[in-house]
Structure 1
Amino acid sequence: MYHAENLNNKVRLFLSILWPIMVTQLSLFAMNLVDTMMSGRVGTDDLAGVAIGSSLWLPIFTGVNGILLAVTPIVAHFIGSGQKDKIAGAVTQAMYLSVALGILVFVVGSFVLDPVLHIMNLDTGVHHIAFHYLVGLSIGIIPLFLSNVLRNFFDGQGFTRITMFITILAVPFNVLLNYGFIFGNFGLPALGGIGAGYATAITYWIILLVSIWMTFRLTVIKHYRLFVKWIMPSWKAWKEQLSIGIPIGLSIFFESSIFSVVTLLVGIMFSTVAIAANQVALSFTTLMFMIPLSISMALTIVVGYSVGGGKLKAAKQYGRLGVWGGIGFLACGAVFLFFFRESIAGLYTTDIDVIMMAGQFFIIAIVYQLSDAAQSGLQGVLRGYKDVKAPFLIALTSYWGVGIPAGYSLAAFTPLGPFGLWIGITLGLTCAAIGFYIRLQIVQRRFELGEN
Structure 2
Amino acid sequence: MSGTLMGVVDTLMIAPLGTDALAAIGLATSALIIVYSGLFGLLSVVAVALAQAHGAKDQHALAAHLTSGMVLATMASLTVAGAMVLAFPGFSRLTSSPAVLDALFPYWCAVAAMTVPYALFGVFRGLYNAVDRPWAAVWIGLAGVALNIPLNWLLIYEADLGLLGAGLASFAAKSITLVIAIWHWRHAPGIAAHRQTARFNWAYVLRHVKEGLPVSLGSLGEGSAYAATGLMMALFGAVALAANQVVHSIGAIMYMVPMGMTAAVAIRMGQAVGAREVSRYRPIFLAANGVVLAWAALVFAPLLAFRDDIAGALSTDLEVIALAVPMFMTMAFIQFADGLQSIALGALRGQTDNRVPNAITISVYWAVALPLAYAVGFVLGLGPSGVLAGYAIGVLTSALILQARFWKRTRAA
TM value normalised by structure 1 = 0.88
SS for the counterpart of 1:350 is coil
Aligned counterpart, 2:26: 51
Aligned counterpart, 1:78: 53
* Amino acid in the other structure paired with 1:151: R
Deviation at 1:194, TM superposition (A): 2.8
Deviation at 1:311, TM superposition (A): 1.6
* Amino acid in the other structure paired with 2:187: R
* Residue 375, structure 1, aligned to residue 345, structure 2: no
* Residue 242, structure 1, aligned to residue 212, structure 2: no
Deviation at 1:109, TM superposition (A): 2.0
Within 5 A, what are the aligned runs for 1:61-140?
A: 61-114=36-89, 116-140=90-114
Deviation at 1:97, TM superposition (A): 0.8
* Separation in 2, partners of 1:262, 1:220: 44
Within 5 A, what are the aligned runs for 1:1-400?
A: 25=1, 27-114=2-89, 116-183=90-157, 185=158, 189-222=159-192, 224-225=194-195, 229=197, 231-234=199-202, 236-267=203-234, 269-400=235-366
Aligned counterpart, 1:18: none
* Separation in 2, partners of 1:175, 1:413: 42
Aligned counterpart, 1:403: 369
* Amino acid in the other structure paired with 2:12: M
Say how many residue pairs are matched: 413
* Separation in 2, partners of 1:332, 1:255: 25
Contact kept, 8 Å, 1:71 with 1:156, in 2: the verdict is no
Deviation at 1:255, TM superposition (A): 2.1
Structure 1 consecutive aligned stretches of length 4 or more whose deviation exceeds 6 Å: none
* Amino acid in the other structure paired with 1:298: A
* Residue 422, structure 1, aligned to residue 397, structure 2: no
Contact kept, 8 Å, 2:67 with 2:200, in 1: the verdict is no
Structure 2, unaligned runs of 5 or more? none
* Separation in 1, partners of 2:68, 2:401: 33
* Separation in 1, partners of 2:399, 2:29: 26
Contact kept, 8 Å, 1:181 with 1:192, in 2: the verdict is yes
* Separation in 2, partners of 1:141, 1:350: 31
CA separation of 1:82/1:138 partners in 2, compared to 1, >3 Å: closer, same or farther?
Answer: same
* Amino acid in the other structure paired with 1:92: T
Deviates more, 1:73-82 or 1:247-256: 247-256
* Separation in 2, partners of 1:259, 1:194: 25
* Amino acid in the other structure paired with 1:199: A
Aligned counterpart, 1:432: 398
Deviation at 1:230, TM superposition (A): 6.0
Aligned counterpart, 1:8: none
